[in-house]
Structure 1
Amino acid sequence: MSLDQVLDRIDAGLPDALDRLMELLRIQSISTDPAFADHCVTAADWLVNDLKTIGFQADRRDTPGHPMVVGHGGDSDRHLLFYGHYDVQPVDPLDKWDHDPFAPFVEDTPNGKIIRARGASDDKGQLMTFVEACRAWKEVHGSLPAKLTIFFEGEEESGSPSLVPFMEQNRDELTADIALICDTSMVSPGVPSIASQLRGMLKDEFTLIGPKLDLHSGHYGGPGLNPLREMSRIVASFYDDETGKVTVEGFYEGVHDTPQDQLDAWEDSGFDQKAYLDNAGYTISHGEKDRSCLEQQWARPTLEVNGIWGGYNGVGSKTVIPSEVHCKITCRLVGDMDPDKLRDRVRAHVEAQLKPDMKVVWDNDLEGSPASVMDITRPEFGAAQKGLSDEWNREAVFAGMGGSIPIAGYFKSILGMESMLVGFANDDDKIHSPNEKYDLESFHKGIRSWARILAELA
């Protein structure tokens, strides 16, 4: 039996595959909110039962947090592990959605059919492309193309607190020749991509405390030091407006310039900088002045302020100077940047800005992970590139990734395993935002792509 028969089966079975995806998308598996814990269990059980219909020996593995799903199938010298996550981001702000986030449907748009729902792109639609490829292969051949381990997580969107202990406790069971990860995107629509590097992540949070209680602004406005004003000043001090660079001393230690041949390859990858900016409502790039958007996104570090709050936020006015204010920040790391050293430097920068009568308290429970660089000389990467190129009728590109996927680093550090990231999301999928979508073409051709990749790897 040939690969063509598998591809034909995928085409014929697309309506049923779409129905299964819709079932999964209806489950409100929001991992960060305890109110949805039962829904996460429901999603895990749904995946276990679905994998069993393909012949996987699958079960739900409970953890102190949300369950993992592990499945095993196939018998071959080639052992592949596939990772995805079934949990999703919260849907807030709900009033920005044009429809129920958990009532999925297919929408006709000028650019083709799309699947609308929370999790359609991140990551349920993505992980089901691999599952459906396995289903079609099994239906045609009666067996799977390799020894396969399926590993689905339920806490990726909430910091993965159970992930490392679970991987350490199940090291032998999960270790394979290579890990395949679908939680990623294409460099531009219709351009299949394989991630060759990932930025790391550092999270931190701090509270500025000024007066010992909220103060009447008529009594203390002027002589009183306002923590909100001080927070604004400290946040502004992170950046150089002229260059777009971060001003924290030592911030760029471990950052390496991208080789010119790599930059040239990225420029030829089909990335449309104007469309990228238009998609977010920008007219110009606001980052480092001497770097392209693509280089900034894939190969440069960042320091971003993700949230500031304090004082009165209700209806109307309350004339107070707040006692304390709060700030959440994240840094994207590249090259050999050390998250622990960088945390110390960011904190030292903030503490150096403090005026008398102002103190800072740091959250000490936040994590950091370094950047990852994949060994694309391994034969699996060439095999995947061929399969993707054949399906999309253009050469697949090796691309960087602006996001941070700690699981790739954990596969390396805990299991000693290389990772290969292949996904079919697009930049306009609105992941983590209202009205998330996934192109039907991404779902369909994603299934076909995994079938081709499996054929090449096997």
Structure 2
Amino acid sequence: MSQLDQVLSKIDAALDASLERLFQWLKVPSISTDPDYKDHCRIAGEWLVDELKGIGIEASLRETGGHPAVVAHAKGEAKPHVLFYGHYDVQPVDPLELWDTPPFEPRIITLPDGRKAISARGSSDDKGQVMTFVEACRAWKTVTGTLPINITFLIEGAEEDGSKFLPEFIEANKDELTADVALVCDTGMWDQDTPAITSSLRGMVYEEVIVRCADRDLHSGQFGGAARNPIHVLSKIIADIHDENGRITIPDFYEGVPEIPTQILEQWKGLNLTEEDFLGQVGLKHSAGEKGRMLIEQIQSRPTCDVNGIIGGYTGEGTKTVIAAEARCKISFRLVGDQDPAKISNNFQAFVRARIPADCSVEFIRHKGSRALALPHDFRALTVAKAALHDEWKKEPIVIGMGGSIPVGGDFKRTLGLDTLFVGFGLDDDRIHSPNEKYDLKSFHKGTRSWARILAALAK
């Protein structure tokens, strides 16, 4: 048997032990957004440090401005060098009553279609994904005493809280984090039998808008018809953002948006992603995106604007006939290509101000933005990883964009000069951020085998 075959056999034989280790980690309620779980976040980081040390990898818990990060090194002779990123923190579990089993009591469940899955908060996002890589490293170390490439680990503890302190941590430690390429395991498969590599990520602009009119809430019987209603003002502004074809009307919004090459569009068309398959799983039937664009374009290669929340007036039980003094909303933009987050933000704010009546005012709260990210088409590591995934899954991997944003990829590019290979084994039905999060047992097992193959391929 080749070394790789021995490693793969070890992964198969040690699956139960690997699951037991993952279950230990999943039991730690490392909810980064809730201060009450601060100590648990540290415990989760310490647990991983001990696991990495246990397989002979130098590891330590490093302080940041928030929850600590795990930094580890497995370096020796001159070999290709990767920086592997993941996160050990998890989302809150609310509403708890909607969980079928306790979120921090991991177990194997059987899904209605017969699939086996790991049920727990963090099973897919991101502890289970991180452990596929760790267990692949464990198998290589057990079988050969070493790793086929040099690896630096960066596992943070505040990804679900916005990674507020990660950029400055990377900047302060950029010499230590240098590598040839970055690997991120926080993405997913095309379907349960088809691996995928994410080659592009959309960027993000996030704005909060507060419209104020009268200096207090008003009686709608006394002032209705005469006083400006900020909910009406804000609703009209929101309605103006999109035209009848679903295009965004903010000036220069589409500057820097590329057209996808025809041959790529044909490949995407061949994937046959239908409204019934994609929207049907959430109880919808019809796409609401840009007319004339395929569904797959709408969700991964076209920019978007969505209202994520709108607040104003009385929202309690019963009636209260008031005209609110203020209304506010939260709006996010997903960016593609070379769209400039700062310019999008400035143009959006100007768009809103132009629609504010003379006796009203507007305030903006601008959050951190990020540019879109795309791998070069001739990126060598992409080609190598595709071949390794094909060997494991016996299907051609899908190379595709991701509709969401993973800002750390941009941080790696700007600060470290690294392109990032996004390889993950999550599925659309993993219910991340929702009650009853799960991670398919097949994703965990074959994900571990896949990383073992990718490490071997990168070594060549």
TM value normalised by structure 2: 0.96
CA–CA separation in structure 2 for the residues paired with 1:99 and 1:229: 43
Does structure 2 conserve the Cα–Cα contact (< 8 Å) formed by 1:276 and 1:427?
no
- Which whole-Å deviations, capped at 9, do the CAs of 1:291-345 have from their partners, x for residues lacking one? 1111111110001111111222333333222211221111100011000000011
Does structure 2 conserve the Cα–Cα contact (< 8 Å) formed by 1:168 and 1:414?
yes
Instruction: After TM superposition, list the pairs within 5 Å mapping 1:56-455 onto structure 2.
Output: 56-76=57-77, 77-109=79-111, 110-240=113-243, 242-269=244-271, 271=273, 273-364=275-366, 366-455=367-456
Give the CA deviation at 1:111: 4.5
Q: Percent identity?
A: 51
SS at match of 2:362: strand
Give ranges in structure 1 of 5+ residues lacking alignment: none
- Which whole-Å deviations, capped at 9, do the CAs of 1:98-156 have from their partners, x for residues lacking one? 33222222210114011222221111111111001001111111112211111101111
- Which whole-Å deviations, capped at 9, do the CAs of 1:192-250 have from their partners, x for residues lacking one? 1111111111111111111111222232222222222222222111112x311112122
CA–CA separation in structure 1 for the residues paired with 2:274 and 2:115: 19
Does structure 1 conserve the Cα–Cα contact (< 8 Å) formed by 2:308 and 2:329?
yes
- Which whole-Å deviations, capped at 9, do the CAs of 1:260-311 have from their partners, x for residues lacking one? 1111122334645532111221112111111111111111000111111122
Structure 1 pair 7/45, CA: closer, same or farther in 2 (3 Å)?
same
CA–CA separation in structure 1 for the residues paired with 2:256 and 2:135: 41
CA–CA separation in structure 1 for the residues paired with 2:224 and 2:20: 61
Structure 1 pair 277/84, CA: closer, same or farther in 2 (3 Å)?
same
SS at match of 1:369: coil
AA aligned to 1:341 is K
AA aligned to 1:154 is G
Alignment partner of 1:35 is 2:36: yes
Does structure 2 conserve the Cα–Cα contact (< 8 Å) formed by 1:31 and 1:87?
yes
- Which whole-Å deviations, capped at 9, do the CAs of 1:53-78 have from their partners, x for residues lacking one? 11111010011111110011142421
AA aligned to 1:179 is A
CA–CA separation in structure 2 for the residues paired with 1:123 and 1:219: 54
Does structure 1 conserve the Cα–Cα contact (< 8 Å) formed by 2:375 and 2:419?
yes
SS at match of 1:354: coil
Structure 1 pair 390/269, CA: closer, same or farther in 2 (3 Å)?
farther
CA–CA separation in structure 1 for the residues paired with 2:15 and 2:272: 28
CA–CA separation in structure 2 for the residues paired with 1:260 and 1:446: 32
CA–CA separation in structure 1 for the residues paired with 2:102 and 2:251: 46
CA–CA separation in structure 2 for the residues paired with 1:225 and 1:115: 53
Does structure 2 conserve the Cα–Cα contact (< 8 Å) formed by 1:188 and 1:270?
no
Give the CA deviation at 1:382: 1.4
Structure 1 pair 3/155, CA: closer, same or farther in 2 (3 Å)?
same
Give the CA deviation at 1:85: 1.0
AA aligned to 1:433 is S
AA aligned to 1:200 is G
CA–CA separation in structure 2 for the residues paired with 1:91 and 1:210: 37
Structure 1 pair 410/320, CA: closer, same or farther in 2 (3 Å)?
same
Does structure 2 conserve the Cα–Cα contact (< 8 Å) formed by 1:123 and 1:183?
yes
Identify which range, 425-434 or 410-419, moves more after superposition.
425-434
- Which whole-Å deviations, capped at 9, do the CAs of 1:365-409 have from their partners, x for residues lacking one? x11111111124132211111110010011112111111111111
Identify which range, 211-220 or 92-101, moves more after superposition.
92-101
CA–CA separation in structure 2 for the residues paired with 1:341 and 1:133: 43
CA–CA separation in structure 2 for the residues paired with 1:236 and 1:401: 27
CA–CA separation in structure 2 for the residues paired with 1:118 and 1:295: 31
CA–CA separation in structure 2 for the residues paired with 1:104 and 1:316: 42
AA aligned to 1:65 is G
CA–CA separation in structure 2 for the residues paired with 1:250 and 1:94: 44
AA aligned to 2:248 is V
AA aligned to 2:314 is Y
AA aligned to 2:379 is R
CA–CA separation in structure 2 for the residues paired with 1:456 and 1:222: 71
Does structure 2 conserve the Cα–Cα contact (< 8 Å) formed by 1:117 and 1:437?
yes
CA–CA separation in structure 1 for the residues paired with 2:395 and 2:272: 11
Does structure 2 conserve the Cα–Cα contact (< 8 Å) formed by 1:191 and 1:394?
yes
Structure 1 pair 233/111, CA: closer, same or farther in 2 (3 Å)?
farther
Give the CA deviation at 1:435: 1.9
CA–CA separation in structure 2 for the residues paired with 1:225 and 1:96: 41
CA–CA separation in structure 1 for the residues paired with 2:96 and 2:206: 26
TM value normalised by structure 1: 0.96
